[in-house]
Structure 1
């Protein structure tokens, strides 16, 4: 399933003087403009002053800046607190952000049902992105009770608002018959609209319809055209599909050398093979966190947060131990810290444990244990976790995968 600088203080002063007469929409637009221009210090000051006056939109933007560390130290807990207030006041931006935070357990205790409810409330405001986000959540791996039929309704609303990704996902549901009667003609219409504006996944899927003769007459030349368009954007699936056409000479000149080159490119993009995949991924920092100065050891505040069991602080300290960032490198101690953070719901820590066990760093190498941790991280939607999990499965026996799946089910079951 396809399933986002400091200005001179004089400027700040002049803006603040005029703000009391601004409407909520005007102040929100002013803060957004400053954020988009990179004037984060001005935006923070503006948002803080307006939030004090009860401006929910300003509070939502302040939450956004805390969440991403724009003009302020990153603080996902503070972001969630601000979003809770603005969400309750009906601000769609905060309702959407709070929904994601609750589903991911980011800065707040994970609660899937509450998260979906807030995403729905944001979607009801009619913003295309929020409508799409709710539709996607309804069919996400994070959803224990997926509802593709309801997702069709919301994808359609987002598509009607011109959201191209919604057209693609809706087309996939019609193509596969999920939540709606299978309808290749409707899928083709949706894919065509998105493909013509350059959406690579839609171009690839349209090519597949032409190869299979689903909703259109079988036409390998048309398939070649659409696969080529998507392949030019380095979509691995399209590169593979184009390779097949060159290898078979259907819709393209027979060219086995070109087929091999395309296949090699797809494999490179997919980081084919577990070892190569692990090597290409490395040991990344959670992309939602700001990169610390690894040359400096943890400060007093960071140590205090670690001692207090803060999940983010534990995760960052474990990252320091892995990297030797201001401390002696110690994979065993890092594993303990990641474990403590994972116990508090950190998907980034779960993914890090997966990488430690997959590589045998500080622990005996154990693909089954790595598989469980990656599955947990993938369940929470952590980037690359599903890819690593699936690559691990290829290195495991069926019995090992089944056993790991039972362990995963046990961990996800309510106490």
Structure 2
């Protein structure tokens, strides 16, 4: 009898979906609610998800928490993991890494791969626990062995960057490829990075473009930024400043700092978009306030040249200094110019030489030329 009813409901829901998807979602919610109220554990977790995302019912974090808590207390690992995420993100509850850690541990001890991966992330970032790359690696390995694409991608990152392990591009590729086989956008984007810079593979902008594009199609924001850079320079794809602007805008509005700076550059140069110094200043400011060194140097240049803002060497000195202290060679050279010429700061050839030398040590040719000129003029 129950089997017949389930078949009947499945057929009706399928028909209704084509007639009215919205009504089908409402019926799905009502059906799940009925099962949950009958005590079905899996239905309680699914009902929590429907309330959390607002599918078939008005979004309600309080109700989502109620059903997640019911299912979690009965040992449902999906509910435990979902509760952990809500505490970690502060959705419907006060943010608490400690509570998130508690629920992830409950799910992980029952073998849940997603919870193990998320525990790895918390240990790697020191969220609610003392930062510990060894513990992160341990949890990532466990989850990756269970087939978690997120954990495989995270392991790839650790080997790629040499964080917590000896840097090993071969191992990074191994784990990225495992995750890519399951469609992981993070792994696709990172594989693109390896081809972009020739890390463990033959350098290929075309292959970098291929993997960035796959990740971007899945909404990976950093991949959009990297694609924009390739379109801007015409590497691995036909050059298109218009396409670069489109991709930079998409990523910048989603908070990608590099794209905010990149979009500022496009507004300054007028490549692919109408030149607009005010917009450039706006985007440089957003990125610079988040410690992006290129944007800090670019803000300094706007103050130095008086683009949109009133020319102000003191402000230029301030922004060049911020970027120079973070190791940006361009900013170090620009700071040297200010010290040499006494613009925005008391003239000081010794300081000028110091900053030119820092930039020159990074291969910045203009700084090397400045040093030679200072020698020729007897300023050193």
TM-score range, shorter chain: 0.5 to 0.7
| Equivalent in the alignment of 2:321 | 231
The answer on 1:67 being equivalent to 2:156 is no
Aligned residues: 257
User: Deviation at 1:128?
Assistant: 3.9
Q: Please list every run of 5 or more consecutive structure 1 residues that lacks an aligned counterpart in the other structure.
A: 1-13, 272-276, 278-383, 395-415
| Equivalent in the alignment of 2:358 | 269
Tell me how far apart the structure 1 counterparts of residues 339 and 234 of structure 2 sit (CA, whole Å): 35
User: Deviation at 1:249?
Assistant: 6.9
Q: Please list every run of 5 or more consecutive structure 2 residues that lacks an aligned counterpart in the other structure.
A: 1-104, 370-380
The answer on 1:44 being equivalent to 2:134 is no
Given the alignment, which residue of 119, 128, 150 partners 1:30? 119
Q: Quickly say closer, same or farther: Cα 1:107–1:226, change in 2 above 3 A.
A: same
The answer on 1:20 being equivalent to 2:131 is no
Is this contact kept in 2: 1:174–1:184, CA < 8 A?
A: yes
1:4-45 deviation line (CA, Å, top 9, x unaligned): xxxxxxxxxx889625335x3x33322222333453443334
Which residues of 2 match residues 15-414 of structure 1 at below 5 A? 18-21=109-112, 24=114, 26-37=115-126, 39-70=132-163, 74-139=167-232, 143=236, 145-196=238-289, 199-216=292-309, 219-220=310-311, 222-234=312-324, 237-238=330-331, 241=334, 252=344, 255-256=346-347, 258=348, 260-271=349-360, 277=361, 387=363
Is this contact kept in 2: 1:95–1:118, CA < 8 A?
A: yes
Is this contact kept in 1: 2:206–2:237, CA < 8 A?
A: no
Larger radius of gyration: 2
Q: Please state which structure has a larger fraction of its residues in helix.
A: 2
User: RMSD between aligned alpha carbons?
Assistant: 3.6
User: Deviation at 1:172?
Assistant: 1.0
Helix, strand or coil at the partner of 1:270: helix
1:330-351 deviation line (CA, Å, top 9, x unaligned): xxxxxxxxxxxxxxxxxxxxxx
Helix, strand or coil at the partner of 1:139: helix
Q: Quickly say closer, same or farther: Cα 1:16–1:110, change in 2 above 3 A.
A: farther
| Equivalent in the alignment of 2:12 | none
Is this contact kept in 1: 2:336–2:353, CA < 8 A?
A: no
